[in-house]
Amino acid sequence: MSIEKIAFGTTKGCKAVELYTIKNAAGASAEILTYGGTLQALSMPDKHGLFKDITIGFDDLEGHLERSDYQGQLVGRYANRIANGEFEINGKRYHVTKNEKGATCLHGGGELSHAVWDAVPLGDNALKLSYISPAGSHGFPGELKVETVYTLTDENELIIDYSAVSDEDTVINLTNHTYFNLAGYDAGNVLEHVLQISADYFTPTDSASIPTGELRTVKGTPFDFTVPKAIGLNIGADDEQLLNCRGYDHNFCLNTRAKDISAAVVREPVSGRVMEMFTDLPGVQLYTGNFLDNIPGKGGNLMGKHAGFCLETQFFPDTPNQPSFPQCTFKAGEEFRTRTSFKFSTYMA
């Protein structure tokens, strides 16, 4: 195991950005940027033992600054959407940044995704990133201290530990927005990837991608991934939910919140790569890159529609305005702490 650090450029605000690479004994590696706490690359073996980066994104900092759709970035203070950019805590109404069509707060206004984090290696296989969001930033209450630790094990598991604490009651919902393509960053779309999600229900959304409050059964719908199926099998179905989002961009209500029971499994038949996802959070957002529009990316490859998929573990979208959802309002001094991991293996397809 080892961790290496190199310079990766400078932001427009003249802040230096560094790239850390964690390598394990099996030959796998994870590259992490201090800009956005970004998972810049993740190299895993295929069924023949050949290593390849399985995340889509950018080769340089300019791509992240100019063309990003959150590729690989940490997101928060509130991952996903808050309706009308407002919510209430203790009888007080808060108005937060409406950065999506002027109507919705998406990913907390993008603050954590575009910040330069402080980084400290932990031993030879983990990197701790720290960031302080000032009180009132983007309209959210309290100063929020955030830490994220990326760990790469010799068993080819990438573990992401999140923690945060505020000095005021506030909402906290953190995740990572990596777009995976298990065939490789240059392999086209992910429609033939075979996905299974342990979720009997999902949260349907309105035309603004805000949950209606209903927990709808996946049974008999294109959202049924309880049995493994290709991501592309039903993605073009005549279903209002899919038509509104041009594909999957929905929260699934997980059947389990356990660190040792997989909540989702993805298999890529050509490479033979398998990714198991574990989380202690109640939901995961499946996003299938529906609005990627031939964005220039790694190696000059264009990231087109469905070039990658995201599994963003989370509390449900718009939870502060949905009292029936599992809640994520934390008291002053109360710690938010959660773990998500992705474990990789291969099979002979």
For each of the domains in the chain, give its residue range(s) and CATH number, in order of start.
2-346 (2.70.98.10)
Read off the pLDDT of residues 135-185 as tens digits, 9 standing for 90 and up.
Answer: 999 999 999 999 999 999 999 999 999 999 999 999 999 999 999 999 999
pLDDT value at residue 259: 72
Range in 10-14, 153-157, 181-185, 231-235 with the lowest mean pLDDT: 10-14
Annotated catalytic residue 147: no
Yes or no: say if 61 and 8 are a contact pair by the CB < 8 Å rule.
yes
β-pairing, 229-230 with 92-95? unpaired
What are phi and psi for residue 241, nearest 5 degrees? -65, -40
* C-alpha 48, offset from chain centre: 28
Residues 203 and 80: beta-carbon distance below 8 Å: no
Q: How far apart are CA 174 and CA 37, in angstroms?
A: 12
pLDDT at residue 207 in the model: 93
* Phi, psi for residue 161 in degrees, rounded to 5: -105, 125
- Give yes or no for a contact between 78 and 108, defined as CB atoms under 8 angstroms apart: yes
When pLDDT is averaged across residues 74-100 and rounded to a whole number, the result is 98
Say if strands 273-279 and 199-203 run parallel, antiparallel, or are unpaired. Answer: unpaired
Catalytic residue among 107, 138, 177, 250: 177
Residue 142 neighbours by CB under 8 Å, 6+ apart: 135, 166, 167, 168, 169, 170, 332
Report residue 304 CA to chain centroid gap: 19
What sign for the dihedral angle of Cα 226, 75, 247, 104?
positive
Cβ count within 10 A of residue 7: 10
Alpha helices in 68-152 (DSSP H): none
Cα(224)–Cα(199) distance, integer angstroms? 8
Report the pLDDT averaged over residues 239-262. Answer: 93
Name the catalytic one among 31, 268, 276, 312: 312
Which pLDDT score, from 0 to 100, does residue 1 have?
80
The pLDDT, as a whole number, for residue 349 is 67
State how far the Cα of 72 lies from the Cα of 39, in Å rounded to an integer. 5
The pLDDT value recorded for residue 59 is 97
312 is catalytic: yes
The residue among 17, 16, 20 whose CA lies nearest residue 29 is: 20
Average pLDDT over residues 217-226: 98
Q: Average model confidence (pLDDT) for the chain?
A: 97
What is the arithmetic mean of pLDDT over 236-243?
A: 97
- Please check the confidence at residue 262 and state whether its pLDDT lies above 70: yes
Q: What's the rounded mean pLDDT across residues 64-79? A: 97
Give the integer Cα–Cα distance in Å for 312 and 79.
9
Does residue 94 surpass a pLDDT of 70?
Answer: yes
